[in-house]
A and B are shown apart, each in its own frame.
Chain A
Amino acid sequence: GAGVSQSPSNKVTEKGKDVELRCDPISGHTALYWYRQRLGQGLEFLIYFQGNSAPDKSGLPSDRFSAERTGESVSTLTIQRTQQEDSAVYLCASSARRRPYEQYFGPGTRLTVT
């Protein structure tokens, strides 16, 4: 079956512009996660969605970051007024409800803010 997909694969934007990143999780996976990975570093948790429950936004670094999810499908991560420190790979993952430790990752969106 299809894995997690993300778009765009690469995004170059000017400082101060808004960007929107998209994630399509594996069908049937109720949980969806966003992570950020800076070059040579580990993954930084951003936000988690589980079904219709309130999302866990505890990892969002600032109010410039927001995310939405439509039911148990597509999610979008929006970064407003981008800054150079936002440059990173943004990874989306999904998992079955009972196996949150086994996450399936998409290929990521490489964001470069110039």
Chain B
Amino acid sequence: GQSLEQPSEVTAVEGAIVQINCTYQTSGFYGLSWYQQHDGGAPTFLSYNGLDGLEETGRFSSFLSRSDSYGYLLLQELQMKDSASYFCAVTPQGGYNKLIFGAGTRLAVHP
């Protein structure tokens, strides 16, 4: 089966850098995705790591290390609008057709 763990809450100030970790226990998966969800809104895709290493998309970067069963989302130059929940999700092997989500990390950005 699959199990993903994320911190429930993270707080940071505008302009700072924050890292949201995701550790997982899974029998096998194709890759790790990250989604952002504002209160009352729909989740939106941020990034995907199919291979180990760092993927950069503007202010956001995501990292995966399969040997450490660990990934993270890095948000730089934080803005107030980044206040949202962030979910990591795996695409399990044998289930190349669905995402298994973590419980999410609520990020609060303060002035």
Contact = CB atoms under 8 A, between A and B. Distances in A.
Task: Pick the most buried of B48, B89, B99, B104: most chain A CB atoms within 10 A of its CB.
Answer: B99
A100 B45 contact: no
Interface string A56-87: 10110000000000000000000000000000
A42 B104 contact: yes
> Contact size class for B?
20 to 34
A56 B100 CA distance: 14
Interface string A13-53: 00000000000000000010101000001111100101000
Contacts of B43: 43, 91, 93, 103, 105
A31 to B, nearest CB: 7
Contacts, number: 59
Nearest to B95: A56
Interface residues of A, number: 24
Contact of A43 (B48, B95, B101): B101
Given A44-B101, A100-B91, 10 more contacts: A31-B97, A41-B103, A45-B100, A48-B97, A59-B98, A100-B97, A100-B99, A101-B31, A101-B89, A105-B44
Interface of A: 31, 33, 35, 41-45, 48, 50, 56, 58-59, 91, 93, 100-108
